[in-house]
Structure 1
Amino acid sequence: MFKVLWNYGLVIPALVNGFIILSSAMSVAQTPNLSEPKSEIEEFSPNSATHAIKPTQAELNQAANAETIKPKESLLSQQTSTNQNNPLAQVTSVSELSDVQPTDWAFQALQSLVERYGCIAGYPNGDFRGNRAITRYEFAAGLNACLNRINELIATSTENLVTKQDLSILQRLQEQFSSEITALRGRLDTLEERAAKVEANQFSTTTKLVGDAIFVVADTFGDRPNNTPANDTKDSTNTFFGYRTRLSFQTSFSGRDQLTTILTSNNIPNLTSNTGTAMTRFTFDTDGREGVYISQLVYRFPLGKKATVWVGPRALQPAVFTPTLNASVGGINGAASRFATFNPTVYRPGFDGAGAAFGYKFSNQLQLNLGYIANDSQANNPENGLFSNTYAALAQLTLSPSRKLDIGLTYTHKYFAAGAFNITGGTGSAFARNPFGQNSTATDNFGLEFNWRASPRFHLGGWFGYTLANQLTNGDSDATIINGALTFGFPDLFKEGNVGGIIVGVPPKVTSNDYRLTPVSARREDPDTSLHLEAFYTFRVNDNIRITPSFYLITNPEHNNANDPIGVAVLRTSFTF
């Protein structure tokens, strides 16, 4: 009996030291350390210029309108979060704890517990977080580790000496935290069982599956424009019901890269033929393909700490690799119209893309994005390839003079080979989409975009686009096209998680054009100005379901005041998973 008591005496100092340190940490939980600096982990998102260019899922936010899906969480952030919640194995030296300094008041106690008694563990990133508040469960876990270490020391010790008072302290501590230790063991057992089930049924160790589905009920109101027979101008549309569903396989091979493969099925109609104008198009309508098809295949990876590279043979759109600065009203739960999503002349190439892009963040105030994409329906043809068919080359400087203001300066050069095409990305008037008939065309497109987060509940944004078009075959005509919009976003309108938005703009319009189909025919210029007026409100049912009623009105469709206004009413339900 005396020998056992002597063995306890050898380890009582370790227990007392651990009790002092853990009790001090409990005191920190009651009195926050106001002098402790706060840190913020910033990740790159193509629609937030203040974020660093890092491999995350946020960059698909605006890309949701360019056949992408916004992910719930990146594999990188998921790994980091998981690792930080699980402590490492026992450290063998206090020097392994990066945030513990010899000048800290508890340094000697920690050194003793770590190096003499082996009673403390750190976090995966090598820190101890001694100034962070702890819970009773965490305290119990630390105490339990020390008690286990005591049993080891007793079993191997040969000396004898201890007092009844020391034994009494030890017994009281064990009794006081017995319920917490028991509960902790139960939680660990449950966690192990759940982890085993997840591992046995997981989809893939490298691939995350996310997706969305939208149900759309809509109708249009107003006569068709630009019809010669008088009796052919009446609205012939009826209320219709359509859907679009997408599955995104997001695969990471290093934790910082991502291969995105999206499967899509869509039967939401393109309203151009029904209403007589592309100004009524949805941002989520079909491109004419039927069944399930690959709508995007893009690989993104970091190049150093400040650069990111995108490569893709399918649907590498500018909105995937460039901040469009319109997150307030864009996205799957934002504006329903195609025009209101973002500046169409610089961010909508008018075709799906195959090519590469590069992004570099010089600082929190300056970011550069470059990209070259060719029409992916021709890029795989050896006769045309990447550089001898329809293409678009983009460059954008994004300036962030403050955390509340982002400004984009964008230039996009487009080339369209002879054939069916549109230079304004399916928006604006027929003359704007195709100013020179079916002749080859080159355009220089300039864009100015901004987003001002005036307050947490009000965002003001907008853009102005200016296009110089040149006819390359069968003539040398020039045309000028403009478009612009102001957007008003209202986050958390009426209720947290809900969003309201108003968009007022002028769809792409031809202001001047030298081209004539025949010497006596009229120039392909728009005589008047259409206004695009849109409002929407997104109601958050829960984290995965949102309902968005929208309405937009087109005055003077096709920029011609001889045409009556056309309205589009939409009720959209979005499911994300």
Structure 2
Amino acid sequence: NVGYMGESTEFLPSASFNTASDASKGLFGGTNTLTAAATISPFDNLNLRFLYTRSNIDNNVPLFDETGRLTGSGIGGATGEPIYGVADDGAGGSIDAATADTFGLNFDLKLSKRFGLFGRYYYGSTNIFPQADGLPDGEINAQAIQAGLAFPDLGREGSLLTLSYGIPFSILDGRDYLASGGGDGGVQSEVEATYYFPLNNNIALVPAVYWINNPNNFSDNPNIWVGNLRTQFRF
């Protein structure tokens, strides 16, 4: 499978975040992503999926110094994946639009009718191009990991309980380019329990509980507990 997406983040107020609707950006200007994915099933109970993504990330994030003065523009925020956070030139100054390469592998393995395993690993490298003379180009390299257990048809046919452990954004290199420093050396990790329970063919309840350790990669941040309940309608 191959797909192309021009970024259009509807919930953000400024047109600068919705580069897909800016005719001056062209087809490959602004923030856009080209993705290729392949699925291999060597056995009936095992699926392997490989993913590659090439991203162009617009420098549409304002940068401010400690006094609140605007100092330039960087990348990140809701349109900056694979970066979580805001990136500058390492000294608080502007950078040009960035490019990023992301490689992914995920799998699911069904060991029995009522038990399975799943996991994923992603590695992303974002190129940083400072606008100031004398500053070298650089990279931010990061990874994401998740592994879990799945229990199909637990309690009712069509239901699914999943338990997982994940690291959403672990910085391997280039921490100096992140405006917040990418944390204080801590690594955020999450434990999640989600239960999909169908009430009928059209409505399902999906309660979930999350425990987040070292939020935003700061070891001094307190742990966070999150609980939610979703109702899913299917037509």
Settle same-fold status: TM greater than 0.5.
yes
SS at match of 1:432: coil
Matched, 1:454 2:106: no
Q: CA RMSD in A?
A: 2.6
2:211 to 532, 553, 560: 553
Residues 567 and 379 (structure 1), Cα distance of their counterparts in 2 relative to 1, 3 Å cut: same
- For residues 213 and 55 of structure 2, what CA distance do their matches in structure 1 show? 29
**1:399 corresponds to which residue?**
40
**2:72 corresponds to which residue?**
none
Following TM superposition, the consecutive aligned residue runs of length 4 or more in structure 1 with deviations greater than 6 angstroms are: 423-428
Residues 382 and 484 (structure 1), Cα distance of their counterparts in 2 relative to 1, 3 Å cut: same
- For residues 488 and 426 of structure 1, what CA distance do their matches in structure 2 show? 30
After TM superposition, the score normalised by the length of structure 1 is 0.33
- Give the greater-gyration-radius structure (CA): 1
1:465 CA drift (Å): 0.7
1:484 to 118, 132, 145: 145
1:486 CA drift (Å): 0.7
- For residues 504 and 444 of structure 1, what CA distance do their matches in structure 2 show? 25
- For residues 426 and 381 of structure 1, what CA distance do their matches in structure 2 show? 18
**1:180 corresponds to which residue?**
none
Q: Give the counterpart letter for 1:559 in structure 2.
A: N
Question: Any residues of structure 2 matched to 1:140-179 within 5 Å, and which?
Answer: none
1:433 CA drift (Å): 3.6
**1:509 corresponds to which residue?**
170
Matched, 1:375 2:7: yes
- For residues 477 and 415 of structure 1, what CA distance do their matches in structure 2 show? 16
- The structure that is strand-richer by fraction is 2
**1:408 corresponds to which residue?**
49
1:467 CA drift (Å): 1.0
**Structure 1, residues 385-428: CA drift from partner, whole Å, max 9, x if none?**
11222111112222111111111121111111211353787889
Residues 404 and 424 (structure 1), Cα distance of their counterparts in 2 relative to 1, 3 Å cut: farther
1:516 CA drift (Å): 5.0
Residues 561 and 488 (structure 1), Cα distance of their counterparts in 2 relative to 1, 3 Å cut: same
- For residues 426 and 552 of structure 1, what CA distance do their matches in structure 2 show? 24
1:523 CA drift (Å): 4.7
Residues 526 and 416 (structure 1), Cα distance of their counterparts in 2 relative to 1, 3 Å cut: farther
**Structure 1, residues 41-88: CA drift from partner, whole Å, max 9, x if none?**
xxxxxxxxxxxxxxxxxxxxxxxxxxxxxxxxxxxxxxxxxxxxxxxx
- For residues 88 and 77 of structure 2, what CA distance do their matches in structure 1 show? 11
SS at match of 1:561: coil
Identity fraction in percent = 29
Q: Give aligned pairs, total.
A: 204
**1:9 corresponds to which residue?**
none
After TM superposition, the score normalised by the length of structure 2 is 0.76
- For residues 506 and 531 of structure 1, what CA distance do their matches in structure 2 show? 5
1:379 CA drift (Å): 3.3
Structure 2 residue runs of 5 or longer lacking an equivalent are: 9-17, 62-74
1:546 CA drift (Å): 1.5
Q: Give the counterpart letter for 1:455 in structure 2.
A: S
Q: Is contact 1:432–1:510 with CA below 8 Å preserved after alignment?
A: no
**Structure 1, residues 109-134: CA drift from partner, whole Å, max 9, x if none?**
xxxxxxxxxxxxxxxxxxxxxxxxxx
1:549 CA drift (Å): 1.7
Structure 1 residue runs of 5 or longer lacking an equivalent are: 1-368
SS at match of 2:204: strand
**2:226 corresponds to which residue?**
568
SS at match of 1:383: helix
Q: Is contact 1:461–1:488 with CA below 8 Å preserved after alignment?
A: yes
Question: Any residues of structure 2 matched to 1:180-259 within 5 Å, and which?
Answer: none
SS at match of 2:25: coil
Q: Is contact 2:184–2:219 with CA below 8 Å preserved after alignment?
A: no
**1:495 corresponds to which residue?**
156
Q: Give the counterpart letter for 1:413 in structure 2.
A: R
1:373 CA drift (Å): 2.2
- For residues 209 and 101 of structure 2, what CA distance do their matches in structure 1 show? 32
Q: Give the counterpart letter for 1:416 in structure 2.
A: I
- For residues 426 and 415 of structure 1, what CA distance do their matches in structure 2 show? 9
1:448 CA drift (Å): 0.9
- For residues 546 and 457 of structure 1, what CA distance do their matches in structure 2 show? 19
SS at match of 2:212: strand
1:462 CA drift (Å): 1.1
- The structure that is helix-richer by fraction is 1
